[in-house]
Amino acid sequence: MIVDGGIVWRGHHVDKGCAIWILEQHDKVPIAIVIAPQCDSPHIAGPKHGAATRLEQLDPAGTMVGPLVARTVYGDISWDDHPVSMHRIYKVEKAKLQDALSILPNIEKLSNDTSGVMAIVPTFGPDMDRLTVVYQFTSITAPGEQIDRIGMSEEFQKLVIKAHDAGTLVSSRMLVAI
């Protein structure tokens, strides 16, 4: 959506990837409809059409990623008891997957009752060379405590070096069940 001088351009997607921009004034009465030129429909030009199309192409809302279907290769899901999780996503060659998984029991030994470790790999999806290690926590404060206590320890740093030989960290995120 682009707002300019009380005029609102709203982007909408329809069949075959066409982008439609509807020009509205304050009273929400459509005064122009612009259909992106890549569509087979007529193109109705407007003063903001070029900017709106460029904006939509740079930041397309609703772009689908996936599907991702994964299987558990280590540990168990415990969302009921551990509603907070940190996902560490690694790029791992299939030949090194077992090396990467062999590190997880050592990491789990360092943790306590406030956390759990599990891992998943894609069954099919866009990035088949990924390993997602999920650290599960009982509270929102537990990750900070675990990172301070475990993440900075000499034992854990040795495991990090070993893990680096097995794969490369590509992204990380925190999730909290609400």
Note the pLDDT tens digit of each residue in 155-165: 989 998 988 89
The three-class DSSP label of residue 58 is: helix
Most confident range (mean pLDDT) of 42-46, 78-82, 111-115, 130-134 is 130-134
**Cα angle at 132 between 126 and 133, to 5 degrees?**
180
Q: Which residue has the tokens 């070993």?
A: 162
Mean pLDDT over the full length of the chain: 75
pTM of the model: 0.62
- Kindly indicate the confidence band of residue 94, based on its pLDDT and cuts at 50, 70 and 90: very high
Instruction: Give which of 135, 90, 145 is closest to 153, Cα–Cα.
Output: 145
When pLDDT is averaged across residues 69-82 and rounded to a whole number, the result is 88
User: What is the domain partition of the chain in residue ranges?
Assistant: 2-58, 69-176
User: What was the pLDDT predicted at 39?
Assistant: 46
**What are the residues whose beta carbons fall under 8 Å from the beta carbon of 72, sequence distance 6 or more?**
118, 119, 120
The architecture CATH gives domain 69-176? 2-Layer Sandwich (3.30)
Cis before 83 (ω within 30): no
- Is the per-residue pLDDT at 17 higher than 60? no
Residue 126 or residue 17, greater confidence? 126
Q: What pLDDT score was predicted for residue 84?
A: 92
